[in-house]
Amino acid sequence: DCSVQRRHQKIIEEAPGPGIKPEVRRKLGEAAVRAAKAVNYVGAGTVEFIMDSAHNFYFMEMNTRLQVEHPVTEMVTGTDLVEWQLKVAAGEKIPLTQEEIVLNGHAFEARIYAEDPDNNFMPGAGPLLHLSTPPADSCTRIETGVRQGDEVSIHYDPMIAKLVVWAEDRPAALRKLRYCLQQYNIVGLST
């Protein structure tokens, strides 16, 4: 679920989507497979839908790549989607069928943006004078391309990191996300 957005930029992602019944989740999966098969698509990809409050869903788009938010899927399925993408590209079969993939627990991804909240969340720039993150472990993942001392430019996407957490259920995962965000400290530019 990628409902928390600002200016068409995703901020928080989670899996599995809250409040989506297993039957609706199954139908979403089947519709995604039908869309990919309709265009003879092979490879990593994401089919996006929008859902109304009555759980009716509508096709939005298909992206022919792994999405930025793929780690939440990896966390709740125990899969490595990048590895699978490479296997498919090499002509190999995916190790598991859809029916063999079991959802386990709940995951959140929070995107860390270099943006100025006092200036309508415009992209920020400047030196990363201090950076400390929560410790990474099997339930906490940090993906970033910046480190302390780097200069963040306004000429690139303002997302500077992704914080991904997993726990046994949604309330525990949300507590872990809040805790880890409190441990994430950046000095030198607005976030």
Kindly write down the DSSP assignment for every residue of 5-30, as one continuous string. Answer: EETTEEEEEEESPTT--HHHHHHHHH
Q: Are 105 and 169 in contact (CB under 8 A)?
A: yes
Distances (CA, A) of 36 to 19, 29, 87: 25, 11, 18
Q: Are 163 and 183 in contact (CB under 8 A)?
A: no
Instruction: Establish whether 65 is a catalytic residue.
Output: yes
| Per-residue b or e along 82-112, where b marks 16 or more CB atoms closer than 10 Å to that residue's CB | eebbeeeeeeeeeeeeeeebeeebbbbbbbb
Catalytic residue among 6, 26, 34, 65: 65
> Is the bond preceding 16 in cis, omega lying within 30 degrees of 0?
yes
Q: Which residues are catalytic?
A: 65
